[in-house]
Structure 1
Amino acid sequence: MLSLGGMGIVVMGVFGGYLLAGGKMSVIIKALPFEFMMIGGAALGALLIANSMKVVKQTFGGVLRVIKGPKWKQKDYQDLLCLLYALANVYKKKGALGLEQHVEQPSESQIFQTYPKVLNDHFACAMICDTLRMMTLNLEDPHQIDDYIDRLLEKHHHEDMQGAQALQTTADALPALGIVAAVLGVIKTMASINEPPEVLGKLIGGALVGTFLGVFLAYGFVGPLSSRLSQIVEDDSRFYHVIKDVLVAIAQGAGPQLAVEIGRGNVPTAVQPSFFDLEQAVEQAPAVT
């Protein structure tokens, strides 16, 4: 919602200042649909040329992510730590065989079913289950597990950033596309050079709307959207880094309580559950049979 408010301020600030300075909207309104068609169409076409359909969908989905904000809230981090505590506790008490039933079919696991948002996140669920499955196969070297998860995180982060990068590329292109639209407007004006000055003035004004619109969209909307989407990707990635911290701690032999406390310490401050809130949540979690 903050992003939508910011967009409103951009529009009111630019056009409000223009009107207060004595500007008239009639020229802009008349030229805007055609200039937007040229600039917006060229930008969309360039986006399709430069990216796969997967990245294009991710780009438009990224705009919705900006409006919604980061995916993971404080309650989600608390649930994640409770889930990892329960798995670590099973691993400690029952060993690899006790853990196997939970990591082989997480959708049927009593532990995972208690925390559906984590279960429904494919990457988080797969990273937890695959890493613990490897540990049940006697891969218990913490350094190997650390390297393995780092490669997973790097791959996921690279793929998740593609939408933001595509938006930024589009933002970089918009001013130039605005110039293209303006040049076409100048060509149209030159073809009417025998018209009276008042007609030529309106044609030139309409041509300049193209330059204005390209710069306005680039720096007022698309560029900031790309920047905010990059921030959200970074914020959401911290969730997976907490998973890594807890799993590596388990591989190093830390007990369930210490392992989740290590993970809790690396949760972003703004959404970090307190020690006592997490302890209470763990105590209130359903018992695993």
Structure 2
Amino acid sequence: MDLLTLIGLAIGTAALLGGNFLEGGSLQSLLNGPAALIVIGGTLGAAVLQTPQPHLQRALKLGKRIFYPQYPAFDAGIKRVVNWAVVARREGLLGLEPIADKEKDRFAHKALLLLIDGNDTQVIRQSLEIDMIAQEQRDHNAASFYESMGGYAPTIGIIGAVIGLIHVMKNLSDPSQLGPGIAVAFVATIYGVAFANLFLLPIANKLKQSVNADSLYRELIIEGIVAIAEGENPRSIEIKLQGFLPR
């Protein structure tokens, strides 16, 4: 469980509820079932409508990273590449076959196979960069699902406000109906804006940062594999790849 995600959610929620309390409001004044249904249901429906099925499926898989982020270990990645370089220098490229067979990372496995087959360095780089760019684009499209929800939520909140005001206008002769109608109007607006800016947009940005980290890690693999193919010594490769480490 990612502690910063929990802290961020707690701070945002506490600020909203605390501000409402300081203004003399109560928790009950912010709880409104119809408003929540309009905002959450309408936002989700609009986002699903615009998202192709493959992107939606990928978005649901990426959603786990909100609370369980998967940031690649660059230190460990450099050690792996240096180890490949040592094996290649000692046993030749064919000595990497057992390592490739046991490699669970799909991208690293492909990189090792391209290297073992003796492909030209330009071919290796182009093949891996195409793979990296395509995967990055797919993941960014998936993260955009949450970003699109953040864009729709405030507008859906306004729709909820208009619906509430319609009921208010229809019941001007009945004072008992004015309070609930006005509550739905204002609370729906709060739900839409808060849902977007306290949750959905930060979630989308966090997922994109995770995707960018994955791409940077794949760049590390590419540079390492190309360096091995060019016959660079392991120490030089290690020094070069240290540039990928966070400062």
Q: Is TM (by shorter chain) over 0.5? A: yes
In structure 2, the partner of 1:280 is none
- Where has structure 1 moved over 6 Å in runs of 4 or more? none
In structure 2, the partner of 1:54 is 54
Equivalent-residue separation in structure 2 for 1:13 and 1:207 (angstroms)? 22
Equivalent-residue separation in structure 2 for 1:223 and 1:157 (angstroms)? 19
Q: Secondary structure at the match of 1:4?
A: helix
Kept after mapping to 2: 8 A contact 1:7/1:221: yes
Matched letter for residue 2 of structure 1: L
In structure 2, the partner of 1:2 is 4
Matched letter for residue 129 of structure 1: L
In structure 1, the partner of 2:236 is 258
In structure 1, the partner of 2:135 is 156
Equivalent-residue separation in structure 1 for 2:23 and 2:168 (angstroms)? 26
Instruction: Provide Cα deviations, 1:211-253, integer angstroms capped at 9, x if missing partner.
Output: 1111110111101111111112112322211111111211222
Equivalent-residue separation in structure 2 for 1:86 and 1:205 (angstroms)? 64
Give runs of aligned pairs for residues 106-255 of structure 1, distance below 5 A: 106-107=101-102, 119-123=103-107, 125-133=108-116, 136=117, 138-140=118-120, 142-196=121-175, 199-255=177-233
Unaligned segments of structure 2, at least 5 residues: none
In structure 2, the partner of 1:91 is 88
Kept after mapping to 2: 8 A contact 1:171/1:218: yes
In structure 2, the partner of 1:286 is none
Is residue 26 of structure 1 aligned with residue 28 of structure 2? Answer: yes
Cα drift, residue 72 of structure 1: 1.9
Q: Secondary structure at the match of 1:120?
A: coil
Q: Percent identity?
A: 25
Equivalent-residue separation in structure 2 for 1:147 and 1:254 (angstroms)? 19
Equivalent-residue separation in structure 2 for 1:267 and 1:27 (angstroms)? 49
Cα drift, residue 46 of structure 1: 1.9
Cα drift, residue 158 of structure 1: 0.7
Kept after mapping to 2: 8 A contact 1:238/1:267: no
Q: Secondary structure at the match of 2:232?
A: coil
Aligned-residue Cα RMSD (Å) equals 2.1
Equivalent-residue separation in structure 1 for 2:197 and 2:44 (angstroms)? 17
Kept after mapping to 1: 8 A contact 2:115/2:124: no
Equivalent-residue separation in structure 2 for 1:67 and 1:99 (angstroms)? 36
7, 11, 19: which is aligned to 1:17?
19
Q: Secondary structure at the match of 2:92?
A: helix
**TM-score (norm. length: structure 2):** 0.89
Unaligned segments of structure 1, at least 5 residues: 108-118, 270-289
**TM-score (norm. length: structure 1):** 0.77
Q: 1:97 to 1:16 in 2, by over 3 A?
A: closer
Equivalent-residue separation in structure 2 for 1:27 and 1:89 (angstroms)? 66
Cα drift, residue 178 of structure 1: 0.7
